[in-house]
């Protein structure tokens, strides 16, 4: 038996990117040609590494 998602979302692949739902894919299609630079899942550092007690 295939596992169903909580919201019955159907995954979709657009431009080689997998989206969890058709709605996410549609939003990506809407913003991908906008003049501003859009990045997806850009890494960032919240707090630099440090040692405790030393």
Question: What pLDDT score does 13 carry?
Answer: 95
For residue 2, is pLDDT > 90? no
**Distance of alpha carbon 54 from alpha carbon 44, whole angstroms:** 25
Question: What pLDDT score does 21 carry?
Answer: 93
Asked whether residue 1 is assigned to any structural domain, the reply reads no
Return the H-helix or E-strand segment holding 31: helix 22-31
Q: Look at the chain and report how many structural domains it folds into.
A: 1
Asked whether residue 40 is assigned to any structural domain, the reply reads no
Where in the sequence is the domain holding 19, given as residue range(s)? Answer: 9-33
Q: What's the pLDDT tens digit per position in 3-48?
A: 666 788 899 999 999 999 999 999 989 888 887 777 778 899 999 8
pTM above 0.85? no
Diameter of the chain measured on Cα atoms: 53
Asked whether residue 3 is assigned to any structural domain, the reply reads no
For residue 1, is pLDDT > 70? no
């Amino acid at each position: 038996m295939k596992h169903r998602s909580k919201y019955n979302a159907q995954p979709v692949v657009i431009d080689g990117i997998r989206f969890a739902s058709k709605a996410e894919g549609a939003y990506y299609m809407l913003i991908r040609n906008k003049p501003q630079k859009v990045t997806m899942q850009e890494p960032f550092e919240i707090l630099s590494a440090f040692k405790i007690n030393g």
